[in-house]
Amino acid sequence: MKRGLFITFEGIDGCGKTTQLRLLGQRLRSIGRDVEETVEPGGTAIGRLIRKILLDGANSQMDARAELLLYFASRAQNVAEVIRPAMDAGRVVLCDRFTDSTLVYQGCGRGLGAELVVQLDQIACDGLRPDITVLIDIDLQTSLARAQQRNATLQSTETRIDDESAAFHGAVRDAYRALAAGEPERFVVLDGAMKIGNVARHLWEALRERV
């Protein structure tokens, strides 16, 4: 069976990963690659309903384990409906966040531990793992300023995680860096404080041989 390439994008809120995903998608299409773009949580009609529950600032009472299961419910649907079929068709799948997000936000940030996240990943993703993960690393101040600006501009109600403390986001950033250090063959780490065009150029240099 043909197999595609599964590339995930990770980083703290406001790091610029969504912009980089789009730019990479355009570039890959321009050289004739068949690209599928998706997002977590979301990516399917069912996932978008789950996303609404997860990110609504009004749901401040959500239990950490309920939150964890909802992220994986969205992901199971995305894997079954979008990602697995695209991989089987030999496409390049670009996914905005995946299980590494759950490892760092719920496993570490919420203190649920990596073991639980890994167990649920096995159930929800059925062995599907990213071939390449792009981590856009950025300092806390720059990222928070960007996230706040975005929320104000879009009048977004998706603020539940953005509203967490600087200590929470700092722990998440450290956890991302530790993950990347532990799996250097999977991770491409880029400095998100660079200009958009420079991040994109570095990313292309890192990936061009592999795509």
Contacts to ligand TYD by CB under 6 A: 13-14, 18, 40-41, 55, 71, 96-97, 101-102, 105-106, 147, 161
What backbone torsions phi and psi does residue 37 show, to the nearest 5 degrees?
-110, 135
Find the shortest distance in angstroms from Cβ 13 to ligand TYD: 3
Q: What is the 3-state secondary structure (H, E, C) of the chain?
A: CCCCEEEEEECCCCCCHHHHHHHHHHHHHHCCCCEEEEECCCCCHHHHHHHHHHHCCCCCCCCHHHHHHHHHHHHHHHHHHHHHHHHHCCCEEEEECCHHHHHHHHHHHCCCCHHHHHHHHHHHHCCCCCCEEEEEECCHHHHHHHHHHHHHHHCCCCCCCCCCCHHHHHHHHHHHHHHHHHCCCCEEEEECCCCHHHHHHHHHHHHCCCC
Looking at the Cβ atoms of 20 and 101, the one nearer to ligand TYD is 101
Beta-bridged to residue 188, according to DSSP, are 134
CB of residue 77 to ligand TYD, shortest distance in Å: 13
Q: Provide the minimum distance between the beta carbon of 168 and ligand TYD in the complex, in angstroms, as a whole number.
A: 10
Q: How far is the CB of 34 from ligand TYD (least distance, A)?
A: 24
* Nearest residue (CB) to ligand TYD, 37 versus 40: 40
Nearer to ligand TYD, 97 or 173 (CB): 97
Taking the least distance from each CB to ligand TYD, the nearer of 36 and 96 is 96
Minimum separation from the CB atom of position 91 to ligand TYD (A)? 21
Of 50 and 92, CB closest to ligand TYD: 50
Could you tell me the smallest distance in angstroms from the CB atom of residue 31 to ligand TYD? 26
φ, ψ for residue 142 (rounded to 5)? -60, -45
Nearer to ligand TYD, 90 or 113 (CB): 113
